[in-house]
């Protein structure tokens, strides 16, 4: 029978210590409810004595959560412990988490306490907490830089006083996996009564080893891992929940354990935390980064298309991502290119496919990423020779800070010349509104961007627009030394693509 590794999530406490990641009470409750849905065993809701806001948040979360344990953090002193209990006592499964430093550098420069005083404070704080609840966790802060014999003595005192969980933090991310694993083994062999408690770890990522250290600890007898969503937290962050959970799940050969986490909720939880905290997940972040299941190399794309397991050790669906993506770029091969055309509904002869692939490679050398609209542009405009129903003949715009922007446009529509004038909030807006009037189209503008093709004031501007009409989204491009003319060309280019899709390629897309 497999053994459980409990997941103690401290996103709402240590995670909030990330610069700029402060959350209000409502946001904390929302995240806590998502963490419970994810299957987290213990939610550390906050540090009640630190502020009234934290106290209120812990209290609100305690009322809102019904399945997970709710923990409140307290330093090893009566005031902290009493305040923490006042905040968390309404929880269905409350937990008091108290801590004190054990490293010489902390004792000397921060606490200014003797070792005997620290041992006494640890025991007294656990005993006081035990008056309120039997569910007590004790943490020896900066354990990895502590004298092992002294660390063991403090832990023994906490166990005798009634702690049921002992946490060994790598508070400053100092340890390496082999060293941390050895520390856990040593404590298990030397600390009296340690077999009666749950052993936990809380690792920081200052050297990028938080997850590795946590996994090393699990292999050496730890049965609770403290972590955060997306690995956020103080300085370089904490152990990443999603990485630890998926490592245990993926490498069952090395980790014959299980967690209560429901992986399909991982990506939703990650995005919620990112949105609320404003901390963007880096694209190459393991498990939840935008590139975690994206493949650009032609060799990798070919392998994934033939057998996903060739380059994916876990499925994107398992963490809540609908599917992996093949990113088309200069390293992509024919197999991925053909697969993308097929998904877009574009069917080409072998000769046309070769022409399209050659053009795609040329474009990929200029652009970082190729979008579906780029492929459609290559196929529709250059290979299948899209006819132009709309053509720009003449454009004149009057604009300034003391006049209403006015555009006069003459176009050829189905071979007939039509001229109209219109107003707008700016010269481009006036131009687009006049074009819509002439063409009698109802497309919605989704995106508008301008880039200079060359340097200098005489540079040619390239305009890109995205239009949507009746479920069809297209990209239009136009270039000119006058950016207003370039904008008109791009808009008309997109309109022609929509018309081509509607009239000429029904069933092809």
Token readout for 188 is: 């298990």
Residue 287 · residue 244 · CB < 8 Å: no
DSSP single-letter state for residue 228: B
For the chain, what percentages of helix, strand and coil (3-state, to nearest 5) are there? Answer: 45, 25, 35
Q: What is the pLDDT of residue 388?
A: 78
H or E stretch at 52: helix 52-64
Instruction: Show the beta-strand stretches assigned E in 23-116.
Output: 42-46, 69-75, 94-101
Least confident range of 110-124, 319-333, 417-431, 457-471? 319-333
Lowest mean pLDDT among 27-31, 321-325, 409-413: 321-325
What is the model's pLDDT at position 508?
A: 40
Average pLDDT over residues 31-45: 97
Cβ atoms 204, 173 nearer than 8 A = yes
pLDDT band per the 50, 70, 90 thresholds, residue 304: low
N residues, the chain = 509
Whole-number pLDDT of residue 509: 34
Q: How many CB atoms lie within 10 A of CB 369?
A: 11
* 455 band by pLDDT with thresholds 50, 70 and 90: low
The pLDDT of residue 419 is above 70: yes
Could you give phi then psi for residue 6, rounded to 5 degrees? -75, 145
Burial status of residue 185 (CB atoms within 10 A of its CB: 0-12, 13-18, 19 or more): middle
CA atoms within 13 A on the CB side of 47: 14
SS (H, E, C) 293-337: CEECCHHHHHHHHHCHHHCCCCCHHHHCCCCCEECCCCCCCHHHH
Kindly compute the dihedral angle of the four CA atoms of residues 276, 282, 286, 292, in this order, to the nearest 10 degrees: 110
CA distances from 444 to 490, 491, 506 (A): 14, 11, 21
Give the tokens for residue 164: 């049921």
Q: What percent of the chain has pLDDT over 70?
A: 91
Confidence of residue 505 (pLDDT cuts 50, 70, 90): very low
Can you give the pLDDT at residue 389? 86
pLDDT bracket for residue 380 (50, 70, 90): low
In angstroms, the Cα distances linking 421 to 250, 366, 411, 497 are 64, 37, 11, 24
What's the confidence (pLDDT) of residue 244? 98
**Residue range 333-372, pLDDT digits in tens:** 788 788 878 777 677 888 888 888 888 888 778 776 676 6
* Cα–Cα distance for residue pair 279/275, rounded to 1 Å: 7
- d(CA 370, CA 379) in angstroms, rounded, equals 13
- Residue for token pair 């299941």: 293
Is 73 within 8 Å of 55 (Cβ atoms)?
no
Q: What is the mean pLDDT of residues 453-473?
A: 75
Buried b (16+ CB within 10 A) or exposed e, 193-205: ebeebbbbbbbbb
Is residue 381 pLDDT above 80, yes or no? Answer: no
Whether the predicted pLDDT of 507 surpasses 50: no
316 or 153, which is more confident: 153
Q: Which residue has the tokens 């998904």?
A: 343
User: Can you tell me the distance from the alpha carbon of 460 to that of 480, in angstroms, rounded to the nearest whole number?
Assistant: 5
The pLDDT mean for the chain works out to: 89
pLDDT of 103 above 50:
yes
Residue 224: per-residue pLDDT: 98
- Alpha-carbon distance of 252 to 144, in angstroms, equals 28
The DSSP call for residue 381 is I
Distance CA 502, CA 370 (A): 24
Structure tokens at 284: 């190459």
Per-residue model confidence (pLDDT) at position 96? 98
pLDDT of residue 418: 94
Which pLDDT value is given to residue 352? 82
What is the model's pLDDT at position 157? 98
| Mean pLDDT for the stretch of residues 188-193 | 96
Structure tokens belonging to residue 421? 């004038």
For residues 477-492, average pLDDT: 88
């Amino acid at each position: 029978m497999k053994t459980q590794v409990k997941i103690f999530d401290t996103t709402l406490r240590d995670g909030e210590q990330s610069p700029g990641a402060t959350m209000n009470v409502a946001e904390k409750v929302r995240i806590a409810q998502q963490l419970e849905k994810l299957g987290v065993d213990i939610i550390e809701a906050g540090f009640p004595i630190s502020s009234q806001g934290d106290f209120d948040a812990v209290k609100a979360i305690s009322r809102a959560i019904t399945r997970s344990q709710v923990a409140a953090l307290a330093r090893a002193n009566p005031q902290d412990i009493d305040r923490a209990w006042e905040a968390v006592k309404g929880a269905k499964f409350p937990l008091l988490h108290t801590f004190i430093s054990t490293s010489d550098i902390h004792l000397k420069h921060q606490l200014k306490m003797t070792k005997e005083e620290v041992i006494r404070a640890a025991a007294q704080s656990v005993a006081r907490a035990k008056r309120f609840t039997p569910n007590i966790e004790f943490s020896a802060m900066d354990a990895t830089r502590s004298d092992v014999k002294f660390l063991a003595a403090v832990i023994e005192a906490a166990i005798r006083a009634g702690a049921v969980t002992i946490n060994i933090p790598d508070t400053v991310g100092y340890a390496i996996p082999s060293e941390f694993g050895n520390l856990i083994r040593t404590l298990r062999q030397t600390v009296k009564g340690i077999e009666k408690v749950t052993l936990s770890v809380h690792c920081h990522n200052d050297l990028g080893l938080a997850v590795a250290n946590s996994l090393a600890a699990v292999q050496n007898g730890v049965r609770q891992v403290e972590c955060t969503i997306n690995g956020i937290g103080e300085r370089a962050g904490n152990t990443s929940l999603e990485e630890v959970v998926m490592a245990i799940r993926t490498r069952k050969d090395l980790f014959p354990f299980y967690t209560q986490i429901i992986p399909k909720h991982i990506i939703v939880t990650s995005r919620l935390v990112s949105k609320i905290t404003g901390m963007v997940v880096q694209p190459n972040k393991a498990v939840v980064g935008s590139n975690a299941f994206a493949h650009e190399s032609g060799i990798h794309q070919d392998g994934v298309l033939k057998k996903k397991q060739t380059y994916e050790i876990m499925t994107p669906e398992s963490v809540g991502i609908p599917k992996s993506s093949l990113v088309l770029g200069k390293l992509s091969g024919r197999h991925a290119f053909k697969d993308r055309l097929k998904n877009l509904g574009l069917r080409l002869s072998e000769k046309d496919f070769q022409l399209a692939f050659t053009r795609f490679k040329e474009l990929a050398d200029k652009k970082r990423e190729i979008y579906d609209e780029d492929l459609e542009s290559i196929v529709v405009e250059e290979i299948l020779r899209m006819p132009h129903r709309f053509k720009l003949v003449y454009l004149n715009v009057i604009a300034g800070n003391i006049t209403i922007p006015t555009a006069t446009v003459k176009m050829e529509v189905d071979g007939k010349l039509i001229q109209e004038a219109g107003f707008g909030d700016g010269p481009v807006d006036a131009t687009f509104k006049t074009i819509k009037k002439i063409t009698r189209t109802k497309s919605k503008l989704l995106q508008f961007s301008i880039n200079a093709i060359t340097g200098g004031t005489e540079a040619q501007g390239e305009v890109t627009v995205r239009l949507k009409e009746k479920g069809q989204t297209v990209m239009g491009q136009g270039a000119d030394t006058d950016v207003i003319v370039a904008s008109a060309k791009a808009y008309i280019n997109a309109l022609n693509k929509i018309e081509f899709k509607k009239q000429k390629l029904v069933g092809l897309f």
